[in-house]
Amino acid sequence: MELLFLIAGLGNPGAEYARSRHNAGFLLVEHLAARWQVEWNLARRFHARVARFSHQGRAGWLCQPQTYMNASGVAVAAVARFYRVPPERLLVVVDDADLPLGMVRLRPEGGSGGHHGLESVEKELGSRGYARLRLGIGRQPGQREITGHVLGGFSAEEWPRFVPVLEHAAAAVECWLTEGIQTAMNRFNRAVTAPEQRQAE
């Protein structure tokens, strides 16, 4: 039987959230779908958009839960169970306000760090033993309440800095698929410098 992988990018459905910081996970799996030239389909039974992929001998599904962030685990668990994807072949991609904009951090397992999407995945799967890829979105200096910042869109200054993160993180996902989590962590866990910053340095 073919061993399938599942890459779930978390976010909120709807045009109003399309480029919000909280939708960093959605943005990455959309970037991967374009990179791998695969098409999305709405799978109502999973409450998710899914796209079948094949990359360098690895196959599986990209997933965008349509359940809103706080219930992401309902969709992720439904897809994982139907296709018999165990936690060790699951990668969940999320935004992280505790990491500065441009930082990419891959981990093999762990807690939610207060991220409601990861809390939901852990609850529905009954496991913390899945890989997670955190994309830094930063915080507003001096602001304790971050809801507005997280749900807001990337600013005109932030977006050009985030675009290279998508390319870097996509390469990290491909490395995770083909070479494993440790190699991907060693190679890709770092801050990504936008081209404009490199030219200024």
CATH of the domain at 165: 3.40.50.1470
pLDDT band, very low/low/confident/very high, at 199 (cuts 50, 70, 90): very low
Measured torsion, CA atoms of residues 165, 168, 173, 177, in degrees rounded to the nearest 10 = 180
| Per-residue pLDDT, 198 | 47
Answer yes or no: pTM beyond 0.75: yes
Residue among 22, 31, 47, 115 flagged as catalytic: 22
Mean confidence (pLDDT) of the chain: 93
What average pLDDT does this structure show over 77-90? 97
User: What is the tally of structural domains in the chain?
Assistant: 1
Domain region containing 72: 4-200
15: CB partners within 8 A, 6+ apart: none
36: CB partners within 8 A, 6+ apart: 53, 54, 55
22 in active site = yes
Other beta carbons within 10 Å of 115: 23
Neighbour-count burial of 41, counting CB atoms closer than 10 A to its CB (0-12 exposed, 13-18 middle, 19+ buried): exposed
